[in-house]
Chain A
Amino acid sequence: MKITLNNKTEELDGLEQLSIQELLTIKNFTFRMLVIKINGKVIKRDDYSTAIVHPNDDVKVIHLISGG
């Protein structure tokens, strides 16, 4: 299926849906502090394994690191 991930089109071969947790694993996003949105809606950390990404969804994964 095709999704938009961080403003770029992303082809996920052989998948019709997946959880945010699975997406993070596939994309190897290992940063500790994340803000995640699906179609503009914030997904809390506790919901990463139950929040489902569907074809054509717009997913944002913002990672934050310390310093300022």
Chain B
Amino acid sequence: MPTIETITSLLKNKTVGIAGAGGLGSNCAMALARTGVGHLIIVDFDLVAASNLNRQYYFIDQIGKPKVVALKENILRANPETQITIYQAMVCKENIVHLFSGCDVLVEAFDAAEIKQMLIEQASTLLPNLPVVAGSGMAGWGNTNKLKVECFDNVYICGDGTEEASEINPPLGPRVGIVACMEANTVLELLLKNITNENNPKQ
């Protein structure tokens, strides 16, 4: 088994892109920073709103701030060693390569299915060697055992694949947080794949 020093010394040279800083992105970024991933590139256009606080890693006094600014503050409070590059911008076809071509792994952390689809399709086309870890299906509560990670070439989909968020099936903290950490855990699997983990013989 590798020691925590071995793990963090490997992770500190890694760069992970986080597309979206909502329920998935804020929690996933925080988990990766705490684990010691050296560089995070976080992109989101939005501001922190009161309605975000049921599941996103922000605080009351940050309402109205750009999410990327607030998230950087929060991550640095947990791990000041993390290098954090932020862009307050909308991710689109035209800027994906510019934003994420230097990453070892890209995390899809948007809300709307249309933008998830756009990011995965464009990244798979323009940056075919970049693994993408995405979330699909996490609304509601309970049913923890339905959450899974499926691998499609180098695209990894975390979630249950069925519970779509809507007015009558809102995203809530625990399930969104679980899927955010499933994304972070999948990122670690990809970044640490050369370390043998004796507790996990499938690797």
Number of A-B contacts (CB under 8 A): 80
Residues of A in contact, count (CB < 8 Å): 18
Q: A65-B162, A68-B20, A68-B23 are in contact. Are A33 and B151 (CB under 8 A)?
A: no
Is B110 part of the contact surface with A, judged by Cβ < 8 Å?
yes
Chain B residue at minimum C-beta to C-beta distance from A43? B121
Q: Which among A6, A33, A37, A40 has the greatest number of chain B C-beta atoms within 10 A?
A: A33
Q: A7-B151, A37-B152, A37-B153 are in contact. Are A66 and B113 (CB under 8 A)?
A: yes
CB–CB B117/A66 < 8 A: no
* Majority secondary structure of chain B interface residues (helix, strand, loop or mixed): mixed
CB–CB A64/B138 < 8 A: no
Question: Closest Cβ of chain A: how far from B138's Cβ, in Å?
Answer: 5
CB–CB B113/A64 < 8 A: yes
Is B15 part of the contact surface with A, judged by Cβ < 8 Å?
no
Is B124 part of the contact surface with A, judged by Cβ < 8 Å?
yes
Question: Closest Cβ of chain B: how far from A26's Cβ, in Å?
Answer: 19
Q: Which of A47-68 contact B (CB under 8 A)?
A: 60, 62-68
Extra pairs beyond A35-B117, A60-B155, A63-B161 (15, CB < 8 Å):
A35-B120, A40-B128, A42-B121, A44-B121, A62-B120, A62-B157, A64-B113, A64-B134, A65-B113, A65-B136, A65-B161, A66-B164, A67-B164, A67-B176, A68-B110
A-B contact pairs, 20 of them (CB 8 A): A7-B151, A7-B152, A33-B113, A33-B114, A35-B120, A35-B121, A35-B124, A42-B124, A44-B121, A62-B120, A64-B120, A64-B134, A64-B136, A65-B113, A65-B164, A67-B164, A68-B20, A68-B135, A68-B138, A68-B165
- Chain B: residues with CB nearer than 8 A to chain A? 20, 22-25, 109-114, 116-117, 120-121, 124-125, 128, 134-139, 150-153, 155, 157, 159, 161-166, 171, 176
- Chain A: residues with CB nearer than 8 A to chain B? 6-7, 32-35, 37, 40, 42, 44, 60, 62-68
